[in-house]
Structure 1
C-alpha cells in the first residue's frame, strides 16, 4: 500500500504533538518541560520518516518513548503516544503486519516489566497502567486492520468493474468489426457483380450497362449510410444501436445481380428482441454475400421464422464448401449466435449446394 498522503501525515503529526503535550499536562507535568516537548516533537517528526520507512519509524518512536520514560523526563504514557506510529506502520507496511503486532505485544510486555520490576509498583497498579494503554493500542490496531481490509476490498471491486468494462468494450469492438466486415463484404460483392455486368454490356447494350451501374451506385450509397451509422455509434455511446438491414432489401439487392433469391419470412418480427434481429440480418447478409461471390449459384432460398426460437435457413445450389475460401464471416456469426445461447451450422447441403442454419432463442 502506498504511503499516506502529505495532508494525512500532517494531520497525524499535529494530533500526536498536541496529544502528547495534553497527556503530559493531565499527568501533572508543565507544558514547557523539556521531556514532553522533546517526545511530542520527535514522535511528530517520525511520522514523516514513516512515509519511506514505516517499521523503522515505529521502532525509533518506541525507543524514544522508552528512553524518556526510563530517564523520568516524561510520564505521558508507554504505548499511547505512539498511536499514530502504529496506524501508519500498519497502513504502509502491509506485508509486515505480523511484525507490527509482535512489536506492539513486546512493547506492552516491556512496559509492564519496567513498571513492576524497576519502578517497584505493585502488579495491580502496573497492570492498570499498562493494561489500559494495551487495550487502547489493541483497539487501534483492530480498527486500522479493518479499515485496511475495507480499502483492499474496495480496490478489488474496482478492479473487477474495470475488467468487466474492458470486456464489454472489447465485445462491442468485435461486434462493430463484424458489422463493418459484413457490410463491406456484402457491398463489394453486389457492386462487383453489377460492375462486371456493366463492363460486359458496355458495347453491346449500353442501356443495360447504365442500369447496372445505377444499381451499383445505389447499393454503394446505402452501404455508406450503414457504415456512417456504425461510426456514429462508436463516436457517441449514448446513441442507440443501428437498426438491422431489412431482409427484403437484402434479397432485392442480390436479385439485382441476377441470382434468383426466394425469401420467406414468418412469425412475429416486431416482438423479436433487437440482438436477435441484428444477428438474423447478419446471417442472411453473410450467406447471400458468399452465394454471390463464391458459390456460382443460380438460386438461393432464405427462410426465417421469428418466434420463441428464431430459425434461419439459407441454402444455395452452388459449388458447396469446396468453392468457398475460409474467412472470418461465418466464424464470427457462430460466435455471435453462441453468445445469445443459440446454435449455428454451415456446410454442404444434402443434394448439393451450401446450407447455413441457425436457431436463436429470444
Structure 2
C-alpha cells in the first residue's frame, strides 16, 4: 500500500502542478515529488509525522516560489493515510492549518486582489482535500464493516460448533443411558434365572432346565433390544409404548406378578416422550428385580392431553440408597430433558417411581 502511495505521489504531483500551471521549475517539481514519495514510505509507522513534514515541505516550496500552486493537495496521500489510521480529526486539523496558511499568504501576497481572490485560489484545493478525506473515511468504514461482519460470522460459526459439540455430548449421554437400561435389565433377569437354576440343579433338574431356557430366551430378547438401539443410532427410530407388554412378560418370567394398567389414549404421545416412558418403566422393573426382593409390581400409565404420568410401585424392601443409583439418575435426567420431573424412593408398601412428562 505504501509503495502504491509513493508511486501515485511521484507521478501525481508533477502532473497536478502541470495542470494547475504551478510547474515553475521542472527540477524543483520533480525534487518535491521525489521527497514526498519517499515520505509516503513511512506512512504505516508515522502517518502524522509524514503528513506534517509533507505539508511543511509543500509550504516551503510554495513560499520560495519553487512551485506556483498547491498548499496542501500534494500531500493528499499522507492525509488519506492518516484517516485510514483512524485519526480523521487530526488530519482535518493539519489540512485546515495548511489551507489557512495558504489563504493568508495568498491574501497578503496579492493585496490588490483581496480576500475573494485568495479564497478562489484556495477553494479548489479545499474541495479536493474534502473529497480525499471523505473517500478515505468511506473506505475505512467499509473495511471496518467487513471486518465486523467477518468477526460475527466467525463468532456464529464458533457458536454453531459449540452447539454441535453439546449435541454430540448429549447424544453420547443418551446412548450411555440406553445401553445401561438394556444391559442392566437383561443381566438382572438372566441373573435371577441362573440363580434359580443353580439352586434347583440337583434337587429339580427339570426346573433348572426351564430356568436356563428362560435365561436363554431373555438373552435373545436382549439381542433384539440392542439391535433396536443400533437402529436408533442409525436412523433415529425409537422404542414405542407397545414394547411395555414385552417388558412385563420378561419380568413375569422371572417369577414376579406384574400388572400393567393404562388410562387414556396412548396414540397422542410423541415419540420422544414414548421413549422416555419406556425407559423409565424398564429401569424401574430392573431395579425391582435386582434390589427389591419383591413379589409383585404395578405399572400405571395415565395419558392426558398434554402429559403422561408413569407410576411403578412394588412391594419389595429396597432401601433409599437405590434412589441414588446410576439408573435412577439416568431416568431423572432423561425426564428432566423433556421438561418433566421424576421422584423415586421407598414408600409405605415398597419402592415407588413416579414421573410426569409434559408434551405440547
Q: TM-score range by the shorter chain?
A: 0.7 to 0.9
Correspondence 1:129-208 to 2 at 5 A: 129-208=128-207
1:348 correspondence with 2:332: no
TM-score, length-scaled by structure 2:
0.75
Residue in 2 that maps onto 1:240: 236
Residue in 1 that maps onto 2:325: 327
Alpha-carbon offset, residue 185 of structure 1: 1.4
Do the aligned residues in 2 keep the contact of 1:316 with 1:355 (CA within 8 Å)? yes
Say which is worse superposed, 191-200 or 65-74, in terms of deviation.
65-74
Q: CA RMSD in A?
A: 3.5
Secondary structure of 1:270's counterpart equals: helix
Say which is worse superposed, 189-198 or 243-252, in terms of deviation.
243-252
1:76-125, Cα deviation, whole Å (9 max, x unpaired): 643446657865x5xxxxxxxxxx33xx3223322332343268354653
Secondary structure of 1:314's counterpart equals: strand
Secondary structure of 1:324's counterpart equals: helix
1:288 correspondence with 2:285: yes
Do the aligned residues in 1 keep the contact of 2:238 with 2:271 (CA within 8 Å)? no
Secondary structure of 2:75's counterpart equals: coil
Q: Within 1, Cα distance between the matches of 2:56 and 2:184?
A: 83
Do the aligned residues in 2 keep the contact of 1:21 with 1:36 (CA within 8 Å)? yes
Q: Within 2, Cα distance between the matches of 1:151 and 1:307?
A: 49
Q: Within 1, Cα distance between the matches of 2:291 and 2:98?
A: 94
Q: Within 2, Cα distance between the matches of 1:28 and 1:223?
A: 93
| Aligned residue among 61, 67, 89 for 1:105 | 89
1:262-281, Cα deviation, whole Å (9 max, x unpaired): 11234332331011001100
| Aligned residue among 57, 82, 98 for 1:114 | 98
Alpha-carbon offset, residue 182 of structure 1: 1.3
Instruction: Count the aligned residue pairs.
Output: 325
Residue in 2 that maps onto 1:6: none
Give unpaired runs (5+ residues) of structure 2. Answer: 19-25, 62-66, 107-117
Q: Within 2, Cα distance between the matches of 1:110 and 1:82?
A: 8
TM-score, length-scaled by structure 1:
0.75
Do the aligned residues in 1 keep the contact of 2:47 with 2:81 (CA within 8 Å)? no
Residue in 2 that maps onto 1:303: 300
Q: Within 2, Cα distance between the matches of 1:131 and 1:310?
A: 73
Q: Provide closer, same or farther for how the CA distance between residues 325 and 148 of structure 1 changes in structure 2, counting only shifts above 3 A.
A: closer
Do the aligned residues in 2 keep the contact of 1:78 with 1:130 (CA within 8 Å)? no
Residue in 1 that maps onto 2:260: 263
Mark the structure with the bigger radius of gyration. 2
Q: Within 1, Cα distance between the matches of 2:258 and 2:134?
A: 85
| Aligned residue among 248, 253, 257 for 2:250 | 253
Q: Within 2, Cα distance between the matches of 1:269 and 1:41?
A: 84
Q: Provide closer, same or farther for how the CA distance between residues 265 and 325 of structure 1 changes in structure 2, counting only shifts above 3 A.
A: closer
Q: Provide closer, same or farther for how the CA distance between residues 321 and 227 of structure 1 changes in structure 2, counting only shifts above 3 A.
A: same
Alpha-carbon offset, residue 141 of structure 1: 3.0
Secondary structure of 1:78's counterpart equals: helix
Say which is worse superposed, 56-65 or 273-282, in terms of deviation.
56-65
Q: Within 2, Cα distance between the matches of 1:233 and 1:37?
A: 75
Say which is worse superposed, 297-306 or 15-24, in terms of deviation.
15-24
Alpha-carbon offset, residue 348 of structure 1: 2.5
Do the aligned residues in 1 keep the contact of 2:251 with 2:258 (CA within 8 Å)? yes
Residue in 2 that maps onto 1:317: 315
Q: Within 2, Cα distance between the matches of 1:216 and 1:22?
A: 95
Alpha-carbon offset, residue 142 of structure 1: 2.8
Secondary structure of 1:255's counterpart equals: helix
